[in-house]
Structure 1
Amino acid sequence: MSTTTSEWSMYGLEDEWATELRSASLVAERLADSEEAKRALSAMGILYWHHSASARVRWIRAFPAIQIMGTVRIAVDHYEHGTFWPKLTEAMQIRPGQLFSQEWGSAFLDNLETLGMPQFDDIDDPGLRFVGPILMHAGMPTYCLGDYLRLVTERRTREAGLTPEDFVSWASARAAEGRLYNTDKPVERFLRFGGDYAVDVTDRVFELLDVVAGGGTGDDVPLPQRYRDAVLELRRRGELDRRTPTRGGAPDQELRAQLVLDPFGRGPLLRLPAVAEGQADWTVTVGVDALRVRSSAVWPGEPAPPTEVPIPSPVRSVSASLRSRPDLAMSVAVVDDKDPLLAFSEDGRFLPPGLPLPGAPVWLLHPGNPDSLDVTGHAELMSEGAVPPGWVGWTLRLLDLSRAEAMRAGGAERAHTVRKVAAARIITGEPIRGLTSGDAAVFGDVPCVELPDGGGGAAAWTLSITSADGSVLVENRPLQSGAPGEVWAGVHRPLLGRYRVRVRGPWGRGVVRDLNLAESVTLDSNPEWRRINRVGLVPSSVRLKLPEGMETNTSTIVLAEDEVQKQIELRAGSSLLRATVRPPHMTMSYQSATASTPPTTRPLQLCTEELREADGFLIVDLGESGHPRLHALVSRHCVQELEPTGGTRGDVYRFNLGQLSDTLAAHPRIEIALDHGAEMIVAQVNPRRLCSDILLEEGALQLVDGVHVEGLTALVYPQRAPWKGATPLEVKDGRAPLPLELRDAGPLLVALRIVDPWAPVPIPAWPISFGCRLVDAPGFLSTDDASEMQLSQCLAGEAEFPEDTAQLSWVWAIVTRWRSLGLPTELAPAVARSCQAVLREDPAASLMALEESQIDAPRLPEVLIRSGLVWEASKLAFRARLAWGSASGLPAVLLGSGRLIEQAGSHSEDLAQAEAVFGDAIHSVLSGVDPSPRAGRYDAGAEAYQRLDSTERSDFRRQAALVPKGLLDGDTRVRAALDLLDQVGRMNQKVETNAAHVLTAVETHLRRRGDDAGLRAIADRRPDRQTGWRVLPALSMALAWVARRGVRGDAECVTLIQKLQGLWVELSRFAPDLVTIDLIVAELLQAAGPADYAKEGS
């Protein structure tokens, strides 16, 4: 076949464009000029049109770069509202036949393979087999860039410290579920399937937005010009908020809470960020359990350091808020029931879902046994981790994914793909052992960059380095080899401080990393590893060796037996690094289904009763391989030895203390040591009862028959000021002097605990009844606040209730802790009426005040029913807002159901947060349809469950609750009904006896009102045998339905529910989850129902 001059010129263009494309990941990075692309496509059109079908197939593949480049150029410029092929054939100047899209699209995929470019074969829509990859290589068509930028700017505004990885992970998950609303499909697909490419583009767009918002042009940001034009247009229209550029500042992720993993100890953890004020006082909610966590700055003027909080069992989410900074409230998703696979890097960093897993060692945590993980390709087992007791039924393993293609937890809807393209790496060497800065490692070697092609390929690479204060040290400098000398050329040496190193190249193949560097610094510790002794740790001395040009405030550090670490300062010119010298040492920690302690060097203080009730694990980090045994000692004589169990690492050992149950029955107080001579005591076990009595003598608490143990602390709560919380007092020689404000404060509730200053645990807002003692005394709390003092006087029976001035949080504390206040019979009714009057005066404000009242989530339904707020309407409720969370879901719905109904089906942040708590069922319920109306009904399965013994019940419940579901999910409702079944024997017998009669009365009332929806909701819960405990789930729904009708103006319903208040309070005490769910369902169904329901709804 003869070759025309035009064809010869096409061969030259093919070589040129092929070279361009081989230096890129996506075609969008190296797009040809529009007119040149059209001329090339026109030439391709001539070849296509003048050849037979078989010849056309060959010709299209003869010019892969031209076909790819021209096709993507048309998609970038002209794709709009689903229209592509007509625009392409117009540019080719041909009239296509029926097979054109098949021929051209198949060739496009083959040509991508020829040039080694991604084919995006994971796009699972058959209708997008060809257009999908074409649009992915377009990096989003120009016409829909506005949707993408809007999505980015909205999300950054809503979520402080948002990272590109987190944004793409969030958008990918939403897109997979079809809920990335008001966003054009090419944007949705790019974020869903783009993986590392989408993250890299988003990272550059974040920088472009910051630069342009700050007044710049963005010319130095490596993105196609059309991105700059779109952002500049936003600024011109005034739609771009001026933001402080972040590219040179502190790492974004430091502003947010993150999941991390301790694979051989505490398992998944929530890492709270550093707080600039120097003091951090957090309220952390894990599932429904609220904890108070504090941290303080190590250096004056420095931020409070990051803090880690264990996640003792699978939960859907955890949340944290600073008590002083509610604007820093944050929520972190943990387990997604649709995709319950959690992935962490080898060093424990959480890998967000929706992004490809690295082809490297990765920790994978998933429900079930190892065989329940579906692996495409091959994943080599490197190590087995140990899950905390509360995660029993889950598997934790370190797998090498370098030869794997995808991972899927058994039954999950989504698979996790493994990254297929090689990316740049920053090589640091090993960190300096025993030296950290802000809990992060410090490296002494000079880092280098490893490029995928060794720097000799066609790809262009650039380097940027910024310091901790935001100074740009290197900006977009070309990078050739990545050797240390090239990377750090022009940067002051020796390197000292925190640096952000960013390498950019083809999209999705760059890397960014934040490093603490102290070039050539070494530490010599004597001994190299500190073991424990009777006092703490063996003494240690550390010598620092510094390079020329670097100095320190101390070159020799001596650590006494009670010292774990010391702070130092390193200086090199104007650079400063504040660091912590902490030589490696032995630690101990403890884990059970209900408790987890951080590693400590002091003997753990454990409770005899807890060890006998449940298996707990003592974890010892020896720092060396060996064959350790634990010795249970009574009066320094060994009565039992323990061997380590599975889930050990070379130097970390786990011991099941449940094996001590029989020993503890005979010897309630023991010491646990690593040696017979009790030189290395790792734990002391004492009964929960640490004294026989507590007396008040001469302004001090005096323990009778108290144990003598270091760290013994009395937590003192004034009974007549239940809002005050605990005052910790050190107990010495059995005595704890009271501060002046507690000496005449009336009766005191005292809880004893043994505190390790190196491993502090949260202090409860109010003591557990079986773990505290009442020290009776006259008086009331005397403070400078007249209202507070009058309220305390009222509880002492010496003043009127200050209804006009009492703070809502004080009133909530009284209602919540009502049963432990010991109010006289003649006083209690008046106080109860006053509390109800205050709370019901402004129900919306009262519900919002719940956030600062530290009420345990399981107590919420009881407290709300006792207060009467569940049937009290509020005209202002629609405007009120509470943060969504497992613990705050009920009051949030009572306040904002109307707002949720209005937002149903929208791209609403409120709705997204509600879904995270309630699950997918929320969408159906908001439309007025309960997807699981019979879930929780007592049927034959409940009868069978009743016949199981306690061990069989526990095994059944554990298997059924491996993966947490949304609060409105059917499985969650069944578990809530089973919880009630476990508690029936403890409930006031009158509830069970009267349940059927009360249920009939409620149905009769609703039938008179013509409330068919309410009757159906109750009927769905009615059992076949309508007697006793079997009707309790139906009764729970009936009471909730009547209460929420009362909110909507039905006075007779209010009268009825007030008569049944006592019975409902008792039911809520023993079935808090079921009562919570039914209140939420009743409220949302009525709010979504006919106008006669919703007219006065919240």
Structure 2
Amino acid sequence: MSQTGNFSISTQAQPSEFLDLLETDWRPRLRGVSLVTEIEVSSETLAAAAQMLGVLYRRKVFQGKFQTMFDRWPGCVAVTMSGVAATAYRQGTFWPYWWEACGYLDGTSQDQATWGQGFIRALKTFDLPTFPEMPWKYLGPIVMHSGIPTFCLEDFFRLLLQRRAQDPALDAEALLTWSVGRQHRLNTLDEPAQRFIRYGTDYAVDVLDRCLDLMERLRASDPDLDGLGLPTRFIAEAQELAANGRLELNHGELSEVRRSRTERPRLSLDPFGQGVLITLPPVGDTPDGMARWNVTVDGLQTIVRSRSLWVGAAEGAPSTTFAVAQPARTAHVSLYGSSHEVELEIVDPADPLLVFTETGRHLPRHLALPPDTVWVLHPKDRRLVHNVAPHEVIESPLPIGWDGWRLVQLSLEGVAWLGLDGDDSRRLVRGHSKPRIVTGEPTPGVTTPYGSAVFSEPPSIWLPAERETTWLVDIRPSSGGPSVFTGSFTVSEPTMISDELWAALPRPILGAFQVTVRGPIGRNARRSVVIAESLAARCTPQIRLFNHAGLAPGQATVTAGSGMRVEPTMLTFTSHELEHVITCSTDHETEPFIVAPPHMRVLVEETEQSPRWHAGPLRLVTENVENIGSLCIEVPSVDKLSPIEVLVGGRSVQEVASSGRGRYHLNRAATTLKAHHSADLILPFLGRAVPVASVRPAKLASAVTYHEEHLVLEDGVWVDGLTAGIYLTTAPWREPEIIPVEKDCSIPLPQHLINAGRMHVRLAVQDPWLWDEWPRWPHPREIFTCDAPGRYSGDDEETAISGYLAGMNQLPSQISQLERLWTIIDLANRIDYPSAKRRINETSAILRQHSHAIRVLSEAALPPDRTIVALITTGLAAAPVHGFRESDYDLWRQYPAIAALLTSPALPGEATEDSDLLANIEAQCGKTAVRLLRGEVDPHAEAGRFDHNAEWMAQQSPEQLEAMWRAAHVVPAALLDEDTRVEAARQLFSKRTSYDARDVADQSNRVIRESVSIKLTEYRGLEKCVEARCHPQRRDGWLALPAVSIAFALIARIAARGHGGCQFLEREFRPLWRSIAKISPELTTIDLVLAELLVAGRTGKPDK
């Protein structure tokens, strides 16, 4: 007897009768699942069904009526074929297992097609996904609906545990992103498991999520495995493997595991303000309440800080965001002090279509799109294509750096796919309605210390039901511990579940809970909800507007129902106070919350700056108004705002109307603001003149002088928030000392800065509620130089190096912290003080003695434009590297120039197909790099050449050129792609009349002439790369600058291979190469990487 459903079937019955009974049982169940593997079938029933199908198929083939079998028993065909694929697989392909299971041992390719067509027809009968996007017409759907075969689960579970051990914050979406990021990452898995993960989209994410949850629960001594919603075979196999010690679970309390886990950084969208964001999650376990993030976007590093204003009451640093100022390919994010790094793809040059949910969460390109309202971001010159035109809800303007892109909100209801013209890639729209966790409105003005919303009522759960569906609900404390509710609901119509979810908890409810709803695979909902039942805050005024001191003063009264205590209940906010801490407690729980009454805020968009919201009037600089694009003003619950007025001497001289959603194009007032030098911007609102910004000249002092224990701003103009950043030229490796300026325009010095030597002082007006990151070293035009005696006293090495920079002693010959020397090189390159050349020579000599000096440069956190200059200045761009580390491979994605030098000994031999090295090179440089390593000709050798078009452009106005550039360069491309090279050459073109460019141009003819000597080396033929960059008729002047750039790079990389002639030329031309790197770091970086790959590709191929 075989068991299925709630009744028994005799295997002695006739095949047709047996299958009829199974069909009756399986048909309705198939209509309530997403994948056929969700149907639970015993091994006996599965074996019997396969045999019966085989018997009937043999008969029908003999009679020529086999199609009727697939029409009569589609449920049996679907369940049995996917079941055999899931349970019988050991290795190899599916069909041998199927022929064996059904007893049809002489199956042909025609039989495979017949059964494959029958399986797809069965899927269509039950409205199940057919996965037409897969490359295997018949086998693909069978693989997907079988899920991950049981035989493959051990390797699969081990991979999950390995990845979670390497990345404790790993979630299912991130795991899928990692899995499909490189072709060979799943090589430890059998082919069926690889295919399911690569092509499963939402279904794969959901299976990964449930399995990660399973692995986590198995860590507990008495695991609770209810509510997972996985096929029984997954759970049984995991339990058996765990019992036999075949899984490295690191048993411990589940609550401890969860407490140690943090969220991951992710891409998100603020559609009416900052645009594309990197959301940085809250961080616990920060003793000082400060989280410091390294955010590197296309090689440019920024430090982003998040700090609780109430250290001690708040348990860690809250979530914060970093606005992506312009289109970029990737971002690398790491928490300071952590070795783990998260890579986020921003724009894929091959498919520059970004999609976000209505709430702003990014939907990665390997996921299907929901049939809901979404935000779509794409280049304006690439038209959206689709099977059915989606309804356009609204179009929103983007920040200034995203010119050439379009952001539109679309309803995808009824749409099957979405894409861009000229691209075969399609984003499928797939999915039934998903459950919803319904919270209602959050308590206004109240959040957790981490920035999460707080709800005064427990949420309900809405369960959809296009057909009868079973949903599993699990609610657990976010900090860990047993479930407060676990149950299942089978519904045949949409249903709201509420009271029974929370019946077991003492009231009032206080705390954070993880609510998970799971139904058919691919249909789930998960949300963390913070509840403080009956908590309310009444704020006066209801919205705090700006005043000249910051925000209008306000009050808040916090109340709660019986059983919950609040301390304090009355809060007062001055103009400089944004939030206060309260504590809520019951007999069972205590939670701190932040009360911040609703307030207006303002944002300014500036060229190449990440826009941020401010909770007070802005201070804008007159000299910078031409770089300002728009001003955004947000007043809670107010959609339409009046025009802002430009006041000069209290008189309105111009109005700027809103273009919608509180966005004002401030560039329309640029001429007025520059003409009057000083002005105030006010917003008329409810009869009040609300200040939103002031515009003042930048000069806050004429000089800064040293007076032993303090500095003094000469002719200083003190304003609230005025702050000084003090940089020691005698210890440039130290971070700046940030000190508020006193009202008498003095700057008190801490003890370690007294008699510490010459200082550079940068002045800035800081927002009291935001942490403004100070530059690692400011631009020369931003600083005051303040002469002071002495040197910096730190450890012995610091003191000795500082004494050298102060002119008190020689440079030590033995230095362990090489990053200190790199900062000396960087400062000397940026500020040409009298002793700069000598310090460069002496410091470079020591750096060249250390084989790991180049590697240390990647840790010195110099921006890309200064990194390339430092490499060239020291001569290390032409020095051989002995030995390499596999960890150097990952540097390709952030520091390609450094990586090219460090991995030079491994090229091209170690860059084999499926190697991490080649994958990293291709990810950064594109497919051109692969061709060059094979010794092929550069397909874009002429890209960036200054020809007759360049001569024509030199006659155009700056405004005409800027319009051309904006239209031409929209989508970021790989480093060696043609568009990237042209854009880099454009930046060189814009600097063609600079002092450094003229210096190089005067010698360009000689450089090109000398570079012809490359043909006398074993790398004969590479001189053609220089010729390809030359003007058709001229090889002198600024028109030859692109050719000079690649000539320098080729000479350097051949010199690194020991060629004496090129070593002489590199030393001779190094000052000129440094000059061109300073004005055109992008093209110089490209050419250095290009030269290394060209030379590596020619190694051993002299006649290529």
Shift of 1:978: 1.9
Q: Distance in 2 between matches of 1:804 and 1:1092?
A: 41
Alignment pair present for 1:134 and 2:145: no
1:758 to 2:769 alignment: yes
Tell me what 2:306 maps to: 295
Q: Which moved more, 1:889-898 or 1:977-986?
A: 889-898
Assess if the C-alpha contact under 8 Å between 1:615 and 1:658 holds in 2. Answer: yes
1:26 corresponds to 2:35: yes
Residue 708 of structure 2 contacts residue 754 of structure 2 at CA under 8 Å; is this kept in 1?
Answer: no
Are residues 1:314 and 2:327 paired? yes
Identity %: 31
Match of 2:557 in 1: 543
* In 1: Cα distance, 2:636 partner to 2:299 partner: 35
TM-superposition CA deviations, 1:444-503 (whole Å, max 9, x none): 22212222228xx65332222221221122464333565212222323332221111112
CA positional deviation for 1:806: 6.2
Distance 2:383 2:633 in 1: 27
**1:209 aligned partner:** 215
SS at match of 2:550: coil
Partner of 2:170: 162
* Cα deviation digits, residues 297-317 of structure 1 (max 9, x gap): 333172122221111111111
Residue in 2 that maps onto 1:772: 783
In the aligned structure 2, how far is the partner of 1:252 from the partner of 1:266? 31
- More displaced stretch, 67-76 vs 18-27: 18-27
Partner of 2:925: 918
Give the Cα separation in 2 of the matches to 1:251 and 1:899: 42
Residue 173 of structure 2 contacts residue 205 of structure 2 at CA under 8 Å; is this kept in 1? Answer: yes
Using the TM superposition, give the Cα deviation of residue 799 of structure 1 relative to its aligned residue in structure 2, in angstroms: 1.0
Tell me the SS of whatever aligns to 1:1010. coil
User: For residue 858 of structure 1, what is the aligned residue in structure 2?
Assistant: 865
After superposition, give the CA deviation of every residue in 1:379-418 in whole Å (9 maximum; x if it has no partner).
2223332311001111112222233222213434422222
In structure 1, C-alpha distance between the alignment counterparts of 2:854 and 2:926, rounded to whole Å:
23
* 1:599 corresponding residue in structure 2: 613
CA distance in 1, matches of 2:253, 2:176: 20
Contact 1:842 1:874 in 2 (8 A): no
Q: Is it true that 1:1060 corresponds to 2:1069 in the alignment?
A: yes
Q: Where does residue 558 of structure 1 map in the other structure?
A: 572
Q: Distance in 2 between matches of 1:523 and 1:613?
A: 41
| 2:854 aligned residue (847, 851, 855) | 847
Shift of 1:151: 4.6
Moved more, 891-900 or 624-633: 891-900
Shift of 1:587: 1.0
State how far apart, in whole Å, the 2-side matches of 1:798 and 1:258 are: 50
Query: Using the alignment, how far apart are the partners of 2:454 and 2:95 within structure 1?
Result: 55
For structure 1, which segment, 948-957 or 731-740, has the greater mean C-alpha deviation from structure 2 after superposition? 731-740
| Alpha-carbon offset, residue 643 of structure 1 | 0.8
Pair 1:163–1:1083, CA change in 2 (3 A): same
- Alignment counterpart, residue 460 of structure 1, candidates 446, 449, 470: 470
Distance 1:6 1:861 in 2: 75
Deviation larger for 193-202 or 373-382: 373-382
In the alignment, the residues of structure 2 paired with residue 56 and residue 1092 of structure 1 have an alpha-carbon distance, to the nearest angstrom, of 61
Match of 2:317 in 1: 304
Distance change in 2, residues 1:615/1:742 (3 Å):
same
Per-residue Cα deviation, 1:488-533 (whole angstroms, up to 9, x for no partner) = 2323332221111112222112222111112232222222222222
Match of 2:367 among 355, 361, 365: 355
Q: Is the 8 A contact 1:694 1:702 kept in 2?
A: yes
Give me the whole-angstrom Cα distance separating, in 2, the residues matched to 1:82 and 1:377. Answer: 40
Q: 1:157 to 1:410 in 2, by over 3 A?
A: farther
For residues 848 and 535 of structure 2, the distance between their equivalents in structure 1, rounded to whole angstroms, comes to: 65
Alpha carbons of 1:435 and 1:249: their partners in 2 closer, same or farther (altered >3 Å)?
A: farther
Q: Which moved more, 1:473-482 or 1:65-74?
A: 473-482
CA contact (8 A) 1:444 1:520 kept: yes
Could you say if the C-alpha distance between residues 117 and 190 of structure 1 is closer, same or farther in structure 2, counting changes exceeding 3 Å?
A: same
Whether 1:749 aligns to 2:760 is yes
The superposition leaves residues 1001-1025 of structure 1 with CA deviations (integer Å, 9 ceiling, x where unpaired) of 1222x22223225334334434422
C-alpha contact (below 8 Å) 1:211/1:245 kept by paired residues: no
Partner amino acid, structure 1, of 2:371 = G
SS at match of 1:432: coil
Q: Which of the numbers 592, 602, 620 marks the counterpart of 1:578?
A: 592
In 1, the alpha carbon distance for the partners of 2:160 and 2:957 equals 54
- Three-state SS of the structure 2 residue aligned to 1:1059 is helix
One-letter code aligned to 1:530: R
Deviation, structure 1 residue 837: 2.0
TM-score with structure 2 setting the length: 0.91
Q: Give the deviation of 1:912 after TM superposition.
A: 4.3
State how far apart, in whole Å, the 1-side matches of 2:591 and 2:411 are: 35
CA separation in 2, counterparts of 1:134 and 1:191?
14
Please state how far the C-alpha of 1:267 moved relative to its aligned partner: 0.8
**1:1043 and 2:1052 are equivalent in the alignment:** yes
Q: Given that residues 728 and 756 in structure 2 are in contact (C-alpha distance below 8 angstroms), is that contact kept between their aligned partners in structure 1?
A: yes
- Structure 1 residues 995, 450: CA separation in 2 closer, same or farther (over 3 Å shift)? same
Distance (whole Å) between structure 2 residues aligned to residue 212 and residue 1013 of structure 1: 62
Greater Cα offset, 223-232 or 244-253: 244-253
Shift in alpha-carbon separation, 1:150–1:1085, aligned structure 2, 3 A: farther
- Match of 2:669, SS? helix
Q: CA separation in 2, counterparts of 1:565 and 1:814?
A: 43
Match of 2:884 in 1: 877
Match in the other structure for 1:224: 231
Task: Specify the alignment match of 1:263 in structure 2.
Answer: 271
Asked if the contact 2:857/2:867 (under 8 Å) is kept, the reply is: no
Identify if the C-alpha distance between structure 1 residues 809 and 578 changes in structure 2 by more than 3 Å, giving closer, same or farther. Answer: same
Q: Give the C-alpha shift of residue 439 in structure 1.
A: 1.1
Match in the other structure for 2:426: 415
* Alignment match, 1:685: 695
Cα 1:601–1:92, aligned 2, differ >3 Å: closer, same or farther? closer
Structure 2 unpaired stretches of 5+: 1-11
Task: Kindly state the Cα deviation for residue 377 of structure 1 after the two structures are TM-superposed.
Answer: 2.7
Q: Using the TM superposition, name which of 989-998 and 864-873 deviates more.
A: 989-998
1:450 paired residue number: 462
1:345 corresponds in structure 2 to 357
> Are the aligned partners of 1:163 and 1:252 in contact in 2 as well (CA < 8 Å)?
no
* 1:790-845 per-position Cα deviation (integer Å, ceiling 9, x unaligned): 32222222211123136312211110010455643xx545423320122111132x
Q: Does 1:950 align with 2:976?
A: no
> Residues 630 and 663 of structure 2 are in contact (CA less than 8 Å); yes or no, is this contact kept in structure 1?
no
CA displacement, residues 78-113 of structure 1 (integer Å, 9 cap, x when unaligned): 456663334434433345576433333222222222
Q: Does 1:494 align with 2:500?
A: no
Q: Answer yes or no: is the 8 Å Cα contact 1:316–1:333 preserved in 2.
A: yes
Q: Is residue 13 from structure 1 mapped to residue 13 from structure 2 by the alignment? A: no
C-alpha distance 183-339 of structure 1, shift in aligned 2 (>3 A): farther
Query: Are the aligned partners of 1:803 and 1:834 in contact in 2 as well (CA < 8 Å)?
Result: no
Residue 1096 of structure 1 corresponds to: none
* Pair 1:186-2:174 in alignment: no
- Relative distance call for 1:1031 and 1:159 in structure 2 (3 A) is farther
AA of the residue aligned to 1:1025? Q
**Structure 1 residue runs without a partner (length 5+):** 1094-1098
Output the CA distance in 2 between the equivalents of 1:153 and 1:375.
Answer: 40
Would the alpha carbon gap of residues 331 and 90 (structure 1) be closer, same or farther in structure 2, given more than 3 Å must change?
closer
Q: Which residue of 2 aligns with 1:432?
A: 443
Q: Structure 2: which amino acid aligns with 1:735?
A: S
Query: Bigger CA drift: 520-529 or 618-627?
Result: 618-627
Q: Is the 8 A contact 1:900 1:911 kept in 2?
A: no
Matched, 1:737 2:745: no
CA contact (8 A) 1:905 1:923 kept: no
Is the 2:254–2:481 contact (alpha carbons within 8 Å) kept by the matching residues of 1? no
Q: Is residue 486 of structure 2 the alignment partner of residue 472 of structure 1?
A: no
Instruction: Give the CA RMSD over aligned residues.
Output: 3.0
Is contact 1:533–1:679 with CA below 8 Å preserved after alignment?
no
Q: CA-to-partner distance for each residue in 1:532-571, whole Å, 9 max, x for gaps?
A: 2233322222222312222122222222232221111212
1:633 deviation in Å?
1.4
Match of 1:75 in 2: 85
